[in-house]
Structure 1
Amino acid sequence: MFPLILLYLVLTIVRPQEYVPALIGVPVLPVVLVLAFMAWLASASKTYAAPQFLILPVFLVVIMTSQVVNGWFGGAFRQLNQFGPTVIAFFVLAAACTNLRRLVISMAVMVLCTSVLAVHGILQAKTGVGWTGVLTGADGRIQYVGIFNDPNDLGLLFVANIPLSVFLSRHGGPLGRLFWLSCTALLLYGIKLTNSRGAMLAVLVVCGCYVWYRRGAMVAGVLGAIGLVGMKMLSSRMQDLDAGEESANGRVDAWYEGLHMFTSHPVFGVGAGNFTEYNPLTAHNSLVLVLAETGFVGYVLWLAFVCYSFWMMLSVLRFKPEPADDAEQLTAWRHEKPVALTLLLTLCGLFAAAFFLSRSYMVVVYLIIAMVTGYYIGARQRLPALRSFNLASQWWRWVPAAMGSIVGLFALVAVLLKTVG
């Protein structure tokens, strides 16, 4: 099971099946996923000990339902075909990552694959074309094949892997440290070449969250302001970071239209994948996209799925072993904290970038949350005193949380529209 899901991870990120002539047209990715799923079904290590295992399949049903209630029955099968594999991959990878060693290996594979894309981007920036045959964009920004053809998506992937590569640099001796820090430098340079403002802001968020955790909010705020000024000096697109700038103005208008779609279709939305049927520009915000396309029902589920992941990592960091606990448990907790902090920072970077992108259904998001979920299940086995999460007794809290966040989105858009006007 584990080698197969790792292979799936490689194929999902590096995507040789989309540019290697011998693999083009061969269903390599679905075949590997089916084999991994069959191995998972036969495995004794499969688990459902986290709310995400229930939320995600229900979210898939809601995505399908959103098409049916909008009059397209065939759309339900289309969404099953598109999002169903992501659900399967989540289950398999989460089960594999309950083991700490396998989690670290999964991190390493993800960073290595992402570094390959960064090297491709550097070659592309220097020569105008990468080994995939993909050219740089008209504006000189790097891109890749498939789901990473958009420079913003590429930037999101780079940001999410930076905390992982820094974590790996702390293990394996001097040579290992040098290697993983080199990967970190590659990813940072890759972000610069994508010239993605969302990715650059996400790097700032990751650094700010780390400083906040170590030094407090005041220091994080001061260094964050300095970092923002520095980024604006380094990037021409960051210099245009203003609500009145044409690109930003279009995004605000898209957010407004998305909220209008929600108010006109509040229960199940306008249907998954249908945003651009109502607005020429996509939402450019993962929360607005889910809210508009799947309505309140889908939004509550998606928000709970994401927030449980943050909550789990914060629970490990806030965990305090009882004085009566033995030395072995105390040592185990000290080993768990760096892993939890790394995964929390990864989530912060991922969703900071996703706030400016329509990536609510992107497979990379769910693979990272699978790692988080599997890690927490394993952490509870290693630290039995860690809190458990039970959707049956906690589901009610996500309804007011969703309502509050929706009010926040309406308020944010209203302020931005006033600023633009």
Structure 2
Amino acid sequence: MQKKQDEELENSSVGFFFLFLYSIAIFIRPHEWNYTTVEPIPLGRYLLIAAFVFYLFFQKKKIWGYQCWCLLGVFLIIPLSGLKNGWLGGGVFQAIDFFIYSLLPFLLYASLINSSKKHHAIFLVFTVASLVMLHHGISQKMSVDGTGWSGIQLSVGTRITFLGFFKDPNDLSMFFVMNIPVMFYLRHSATNWFSKFFFSLMIIALLVGIYLANSRGAMVALFGLGLTYCFFNWGKLKTLFFSLVSIPIVVIIMSVFRTIDLDDGSTSGRIRAWYQAIQMFKSSPLIGVGKENFDKHHSLTAHNSFLLIIAELGAIGYALWFFTIALTMWMLYKAFNLEPEKNKGILADPKVRQDVILAKTLFFSLVAFLYTAFFLSRSYIVFLYVFLGLSYAVFIRLARQIPELQEVTASKNLLLIFMAAPLTMILLYLLVKILL
């Protein structure tokens, strides 16, 4: 009892309150529902700053892991890259944006989401946001001119959209795919049949949302997510069987969408953009051509989050960005792959078991991001850093109770993860050369 009271005194409940409101502001966006052409008040930014202020002054246990150092490194690389490319003023503003939409969300979600109940609260925001987005998309589809109840129209006349950065149906689809593991987790955690039934319907709703957003990248990510789940839970042979059975189904579904063909104009355009990303990297291999400068060198965006970072922030920026994601996923992987016999006593605690399942959930959400990000330029999208922060938060809780997890950040492990960055760069280069 005393320990619980001490933890409550060390944690900023007001900071979490503002972070919760921030989550509502950026995902549900109620302040923008009456859409006009006038730029809306950046309510989310103000709420995030308020949460940060209370975090600084009232949060006793402050989190600052390797990921924060890496994101701080990216933050510093951005203006340096701008300076090198004759765009220092723009580089400074881009660095500020990165601080507000990437570094700060990671830091605050990692620090202020310090219990499974707070994780659940944020997941419920994701649930409501998904429902609102889907309802808005259906209103667009049912409208004569494709305009939803917010005043936002369908993309290219067919694809559902939402407000803010969700105006792009690809971002909407990415969010839906990343939340499928979350809905499975909430269904598993439900204590009554009605909640289990509701979250089962939510899984179906997200699949409908992906269909209505008509994103090929999201469909590929959905298939990849299924394969990854099979691999981790059923092994290689069952995954291979699942692949053989499901590929014809995926091909049929994809034919209902837009076809994926290397001779297709859209696909060949993306491959050319990938090639241009390599050329930009060659022109400035260390710190790139500058954040948000890709489209100044090529007519299309990179259509690949990995190549976008390589082109815009060079090898240093990419290594720091990649390390942030890879280390977080390694932490989650180790958290849900604990040795049962060695940790039998610890795993007997229901709260620990719940956090282990939570770690597995967030791992698959990040897997969904990686699949989708391979076809989309979403290196800086805010909800990536929200999910990364949520992931680090649950790992920190588990690491405080399980000594085995404290070895995850051993020097040899960090070195191997960091060395994976140049390896992925080489693989991306070879892929582009083969496709060309």
Same topology, TM > 0.5 = yes
1:343 corresponds in structure 2 to 362
**Separation in 2 of the partners of 1:25 and 1:251?**
32
| Contact preservation (8 Å) 2:35, 2:152 | no
Counterpart code for 1:16: P
Superposition CA RMSD, Å: 2.1
Give the whole-Å Cα distance in 1 for the aligned partners of 2:134 and 2:161.
Answer: 10
Q: In the alignment, which of 14, 27, 31 is matched to residue 28 of structure 2?
A: 14
Match of 1:43 in 2: 58
Identify the residue that residue 92 of structure 1 maps to in structure 2.
108
Pick closer, same or farther for the CA change 1:405–1:343 going to 2, 3 Å: same
1:169 corresponding residue in structure 2: 187
Task: Provide the C-alpha distance between the structure 1 equivalents of 2:256 and 2:286, rounded to a whole number of angstroms.
Answer: 38
- Distance 1:70-1:414 versus aligned 2 partners, 3 A rule: same
Residues 323-342 of structure 1 aligned to structure 2 (within 5 Å): 323=342, 327-331=345-349, 333-342=352-361
Which aligned pairs between 1:179-194 and structure 2 lie closer than 5 A? 179-194=198-213
Counterpart code for 2:28: V
Q: 2:98 aligns with which of 58, 61, 83?
A: 83
Paired residues for 1:245-284 under 5 Å? 245-284=264-303
What does residue 327 of structure 2 align with?
A: 308
1:69 aligns with 2:84: yes
Residue type matched to 1:137 in 2? S
Q: 1:98·1:374 contact (CA, 8 Å) conserved in 2? A: yes
8 Å CA contact 1:197, 1:237 repeated in 2: no
Aligned to 2:140: 124
8 Å contact from structure 1 (residues 144, 154) kept in 2 = yes
Alignment-derived partner of residue 27 in structure 1:
42
C-alpha distance in structure 2 between counterparts of 1:60 and 1:355, whole Å:
23
Deviations 1:389-421 (A, max 9, x none): 54877554355322211110011111111xxxx
Q: Which residue of 2 aligns with 1:153?
A: 171
2:116 corresponds to which letter in structure 1?
L
Q: TM-score, normalised by structure 1?
A: 0.93
In 2, Cα distance between the equivalents of 1:49 and 1:294? 23
Q: Secondary structure at the match of 1:79?
A: helix
- Name which of structure 1's ranges 407-416 and 136-145 shifts more when overlaid on structure 2: 136-145
**Distance of 1:399 and 1:166 partners within structure 2:** 32
Q: How far apart are residue 239 of structure 1 and its match?
A: 5.7
Match of 1:241 among 260, 263, 271: 260
Q: TM-score, length-normalised on structure 2?
A: 0.90
| Corresponding residue SS for 2:291 | coil
Alignment CA distance shift 1:46-1:17 (3 Å): farther
Paired residues of 2:180 and 2:365 also in contact (CA < 8 A): yes
Q: How many angstroms apart in 1 are the aligned matches of 2:384 and 2:50?
A: 22
Query: Gapped runs of 5+ residues in structure 2?
Result: 1-14
Identity, in percent, stands at 30
Closer, same or farther: CA 368–400 of 1 in aligned 2, 3 Å: same
The 8 Å contact of residues 329 and 366 in structure 2, kept in 1 or not, is answered as yes
In structure 1, how many angstroms separate the alpha carbons of the residues matched to 2:89 and 2:264? 40
- 8 Å Cα contact 1:300-1:398 kept in structure 2: no
Cα distance, 1:317 vs. partner?
2.1
For the 8 Å contact 2:280–2:311, the answer to whether it is kept is yes
Q: Give the Cα separation in 2 of the matches to 1:249 and 1:45.
A: 52
State whether structure 2 residue 210 is matched by structure 1 residue 210: no
1:16 Cα deviation from its structure 2 partner: 2.9
Quick check: 59-68 or 367-376, which moved more?
59-68
- Post-superposition CA distance 1:178-222 (Å, at most 9, x none): 111222111110000011010011111121111112211222233
* Deviation (angstroms), 1:83: 1.4
Amino acid at match of 1:6: F
Preserved CA contact (<8 Å) 1:108 1:165 = no
Q: Residue 287 of structure 1: which of 284, 293, 306 is its match?
A: 306
1:361 is matched with which residue? Answer: 380
Contact kept? 2:327, 2:417, Cα under 8 Å: no
Compared CA separation, residues 107 and 25, structure 1 to 2 (3 A): closer
Q: Could you tell me which residue of structure 2 aligns to residue 55 of structure 1?
A: 70
CA shift at 1:385, angstroms? 3.0
1:236 is displaced (CA, Å) by 3.7
Residue of 248, 254, 264 corresponding to 1:229: 248
Does structure 2 conserve the Cα–Cα contact (< 8 Å) formed by 1:51 and 1:391? no
C-alpha separation between the residues in 2 aligned to 1:385 and 1:394?
A: 14
Question: 1:275 and 1:229 mapped to 2: Cα distance?
Answer: 37
Give how far 1:19 is off. Answer: 3.7
**CA gap 1:318/1:94 in 2 versus in 1, 3 angstroms:** same
